[in-house]
């Protein structure tokens, strides 16, 4: 069976690096939400209201994901994966750079938050096309037996963007006084992100169109009707299955990686610095886990690995929360272990890519993934926060419940062989 060539590794490296930098651009906003809420709204507005509106602008990026993803996927299925792969990162880099240069409320009044909202929508549209587009791109470049490893590596690149954002934010906050941060310091991560993105656009010109798309183009096998129409009409089971896997993915990332650092401070009195440091370690192990689980899926099958990985995800999540109440000093080891098993999400993209035929693969994956992530990713923080009112272990109960769903999906996948080519 064919092995990975040097050109395959080069494609994976460039795609993963671009994914890291683009996801950094998308996520860096949340690390500076406090400064943004003070600078882009009236100074006499209550803190809770300005912060709520700032997070509302952040959430607008998630709501824009489905529309951007569907539009870019449509053209990606008809005109080529590479063109959209380059467009998505350009659409992310320019708004990120613009945010770093944007005048504040003190300079232009109400136009400041409105322009910020518009730029955030562009960022959301870009990430909606980038994530599924990147999975399709690498999956169609490598031999079939390595699709899991390729998609897992790309996913590790995306999660690496979270880690990069955390490290840059920590460095900037330590380098500036609070007054300096509000003056100009907050701009540096956005300007840096814009520069990163433009470098990635330049690097991606060295990538080549996928062999699968070239073959469809040569044989005139491209979609004969609106690709999304074909997806909804003929591939509904694949859409539902991909949405369920995305629900699992969003629960693992949103609860265990994005929410847990704040939650453990409130629930177990973990110092903020310790919570953030342990989160960085967990995110690093998450990236390693994505690659490991993707490679294991190639070796043992996606269904078996997903089921076993979800069992470990549920168990490690429970272990983290239950042990922190008794032995908080073990947070670094426990969170690293849990981060590694959150990496079971590395199985999801290669499985989802295989569910759709090449002619509508980009549209099918983009539609199912982005709609599901917008719904479940958006509702999960609200639902978990409401549950905390009567259940202090609500976060882990939610993740354990979705892990059970993941085990069921794994059992189902073992009975269904899906092939990418």
For 394-420, write each residue's pLDDT tens digit. Answer: 999 999 999 999 999 999 998 875 443
> pTM for this one?
0.87
Assigned token pair, 276: 């953030």
What is the Cα–Cα distance from 176 to 246, expressed in whole angstroms? 38
Same domain flag for 291 and 398: yes
pLDDT > 90: percent of the chain: 43
The beta strand positions in 11-141, using DSSP E, are: none
Same domain flag for 212 and 250: no
Q: What share of the chain is helix, strand, coil (3-state, %, to 5)?
A: 85, 0, 15
Residue 189 has pLDDT above 70, yes or no: yes
pLDDT for the residue numbered 44: 80
Same domain flag for 393 and 342: yes
Q: 1 pLDDT band (50/70/90 cuts)?
A: very low
What is the Cα–Cα distance from 200 to 205, expressed in whole angstroms? 9
More confident of the two residues 144 and 76: 144
* Average confidence score pLDDT of the chain: 87
Same domain flag for 210 and 233: no
The average pLDDT across 12-17 equals: 84
Cβ burial 168-199 (10 Å sphere, 16+ → b, else e)? bbeebbeebeeeebeeebbbbbbbbbbebbbe
Per the CB < 8 A criterion, the answer to whether 357 and 418 are in contact is: no
pLDDT > 70: percent of the chain: 96
- pLDDT, tens digit (0-9, with 9 covering 90-100), for 265-279: 888 888 878 888 899
Same domain flag for 158 and 186: yes
pLDDT for the residue numbered 421: 38
More confident of the two residues 313 and 21: 313
Q: 247 pLDDT band (50/70/90 cuts)?
A: very high
Same domain flag for 252 and 151: no
Q: Where is the domain boundary, 187, 204, 222?
A: 222
Q: What is the CATH number of the domain that holds 121?
A: 1.20.1250.20
Q: How many H-runs (helices) and E-runs (strands) does the chain carry?
A: 21, 0
Residue 392, domain extent: 226-421
Same domain flag for 257 and 356: yes
Residue 51 has pLDDT above 80, yes or no: no
Closest residue by Cα to residue 293 from 151, 396, 192 = 151
The average pLDDT across 350-361 equals: 91
pLDDT for the residue numbered 223: 59
């Amino acid at each position: 069976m064919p092995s990975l060539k040097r050109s395959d590794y080069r494609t994976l490296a460039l795609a993963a690096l671009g994914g890291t930098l683009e996801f950094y651009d998308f996520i860096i906003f949340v690390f500076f939400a406090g400064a943004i809420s003070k600078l882009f709204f009236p100074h006499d507005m209550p803190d809770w209201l300005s912060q709520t509106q700032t997070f509302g602008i952040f959430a607008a990026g998630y709501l824009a994901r489905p529309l951007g993803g569907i539009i870019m996927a449509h053209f990606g299925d008809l005109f080529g994966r590479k063109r959209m792969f380059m467009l998505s990162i350009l659409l992310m880099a320019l708004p990120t750079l613009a945010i770093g240069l944007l005048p504040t409320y003190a300079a232009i009044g109400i136009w400041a938050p409105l322009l910020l909202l518009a730029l955030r929508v562009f960022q959301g549209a870009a990430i909606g096309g980038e994530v599924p587009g990147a999975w399709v791109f690498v999956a169609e470049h490598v031999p079939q037996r390595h699709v899991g490893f390729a998609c897992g590596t790309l996913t590790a690149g995306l999660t690496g963007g979270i880690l990069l954002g955390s490290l840059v934010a920590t460095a900037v906050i330590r380098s500036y006084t609070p007054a300096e941060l509000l003056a100009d310091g907050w701009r540096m991560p956005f300007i840096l992100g814009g520069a990163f993105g433009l470098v990635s656009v330049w690097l991606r010109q060295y990538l080549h169109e996928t062999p699968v798309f070239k073959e469809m183009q040569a044989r005139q096998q491209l979609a004969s009707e609106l690709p999304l129409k074909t997806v909804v009409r003929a591939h509904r089971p694949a859409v539902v299955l991909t949405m369920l896997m995305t629900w699992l993915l969003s629960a693992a990332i949103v609860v265990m990686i994005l929410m847990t650092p704040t939650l453990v401070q409130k629930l177990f009195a973990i110092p903020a610095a310790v919570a953030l440091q342990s989160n960085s370690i967990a995110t690093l192990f998450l990236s390693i886990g994505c690659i490991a689980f993707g490679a294991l899926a190639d070796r043992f099958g996606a269904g078996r690995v997903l089921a076993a990985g979800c069992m470990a995800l549920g168990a490690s999540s429970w272990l983290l929360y239950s042990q922190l109440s008794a032995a908080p000093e073990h947070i670094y080891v426990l969170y690293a272990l849990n981060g590694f098993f959150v990496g079971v999400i590395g199985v999801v993209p290669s499985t989802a890519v295989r569910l759709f035929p090449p002619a509508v693969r980009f549209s099918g994956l983009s539609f199912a993934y982005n709609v599901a992530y917008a719904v479940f990713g958006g509702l999960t923080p609200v639902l978990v926060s409401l549950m905390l009112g009567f259940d202090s272990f609500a976060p882990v109960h939610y993740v354990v419940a979705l892990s059970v769903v993941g085990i069921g999906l794994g059992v189902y996948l073992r009975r269904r062989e899906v092939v990418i080519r």
